[in-house]
Amino acid sequence: MRLEQLQAFLCVAETGSFQQAAGQCGVTQSTISRQVQGLEAELGLSLFHRTAHAKLTLGGERLLPHARKICQTWQNATQELGDLLAGKQPELCVAAIHSVCASYLPPVLQKFCRDYPEVQLRVTALGSDRALKVLKDGLVDVAIVMNNRYFTQAPEMLVEVLYNEPIEVLMAAGHPLTEYERVPWQELICYPQVVFKDGYGMQRMVQEQFGRMGAKLQAVLELNTLDAFRGVVRQGELIALLPSSALVEARADRTLAIRSIENLRANSKVSAIGSAGADPTWTREVVLVTTHDRMQIPPIAHFYRLVREFVMPQFEALNGAKTRELIREL
């Protein structure tokens, strides 16, 4: 059974004439007759009495409400998909890591809302791994996260690198590690740390780096907001390993101190902590992720372009010079 057969049947039933149905559908009468005959052959019974007036048979009367429902469902589906391709979607959902939400997304959101005022924009701050999971599950349209190739290497994913940034040490202004301009790893691993909660890419990244070094991570507290990190670290001994863009507000806080991490290869004691496999230039890669099919939808494609247009220049303005200097020295 084909949709055009049901449509031809409906048209004849509503007009009461094969000739009028052909004119209304913009086809020949023989085409309408062939469609109805094909439907009758498949169903095994006649649908019309072939008289001067095409009157429904008992079988035609039983089929009529079902045909109307099927054709109406198809019409609704094509209308909805047409609206989607025309950019008439009700909402656009974005998941992004906290540092991006706080520092780089506001101008993107403002511009998007001006360009697509009829689209409800929903933004959720999530850890990288969780954000990529909900993107994969279809719960959000775009994710801006620390790259996790376990999720992003899937063929349907469209991934663009926004920036790379170094990992630094956040500590209280009076912390013993402030005596170092660049904190040696053998000193860093001696102190208890505040880490992101499970599901955040930074927690996984820190754990993996310590594992490669053969060192034990003293993770004594898990948090999920940058304000909480600053508040806890400010109290004394605890430190946190955070990416450069997460430390924008901390740099202006006199109660806090930020130090870069010593290049492992420049450290003569590196072998003492078993770090042969550790990354000497420890950075994180922040990426913009969606799926190829979503880029066919105008609001999603427009948001994607706005992120590319606004985020990278902002990162360069806020962190670029410092980041390039740190990476050169690492």
Choice between 1 and 231, residue whose per-residue pLDDT is larger: 231
pLDDT digits (tens, 9 = 90+) for 147-173: 988 888 889 999 999 999 999 999 999
Do 28 and 108 belong together in one domain?
Answer: no
Pairing assessment for the beta strands 283-291 and 157-172 based on DSSP bridges = antiparallel
Range from 30-44, 220-234, 241-255, 256-270 carrying the lowest mean pLDDT: 256-270
Do 274 and 293 belong together in one domain?
Answer: no
Do 276 and 169 belong together in one domain?
Answer: yes
Is 189 inside a domain boundary? yes
The pLDDT score that the predictor gives to residue 149 is 85
The pLDDT score that the predictor gives to residue 278 is 44
Compute the C-alpha angle 68/73/78, nearest 5°.
Answer: 125
- Domain hosting 31: range is 3-85
Do 318 and 259 belong together in one domain?
Answer: no
Is 25 inside a domain boundary? yes
Contacts of 143 (CB under 8 A, 6+ apart): 94, 95, 96, 131, 132, 134, 135, 288, 289, 290
Do 197 and 149 belong together in one domain?
Answer: no
The mean pLDDT value for 98-119 works out to: 92
Is 122 inside a domain boundary? yes
The pLDDT score that the predictor gives to residue 132 is 92
Is 90 inside a domain boundary? no
The pLDDT score that the predictor gives to residue 264 is 64
Write out the DSSP string of 212-252: HHT----EEEEE--HHHHHHHHTTSS-BEEEEGGGGTTGGG
Is 91 inside a domain boundary? no
Domain end position, chosen among 85, 106, 132:
85
Do 72 and 29 belong together in one domain?
Answer: yes
Identity of the residue numbered 111: K
Closest CA to 224 of 94, 130, 87: 130
Is 92 inside a domain boundary? no
Do 52 and 14 belong together in one domain?
Answer: yes
Do 140 and 217 belong together in one domain?
Answer: no
User: Domain containing 172 — which CATH number?
Assistant: 3.40.190.290
Domain end position, chosen among 85, 116, 144:
85
Domain end position, chosen among 26, 54, 85:
85
Q: Environment class of residue 109 by beta-carbon count within 10 Å: exposed (0-12), middle (13-18) or buried (19+)?
A: middle
Do 267 and 221 belong together in one domain?
Answer: yes
pLDDT digits (tens, 9 = 90+) for 23-49: 888 888 899 889 899 998 999 999 998
Do 276 and 167 belong together in one domain?
Answer: yes
Number of domains in the chain: 3
Do 123 and 265 belong together in one domain?
Answer: no
Is 212 inside a domain boundary? yes
User: Domain containing 110 — which CATH number?
Assistant: 3.40.190.10
Read off the pTM: 0.71
Is 14 inside a domain boundary? yes
Do 228 and 118 belong together in one domain?
Answer: no
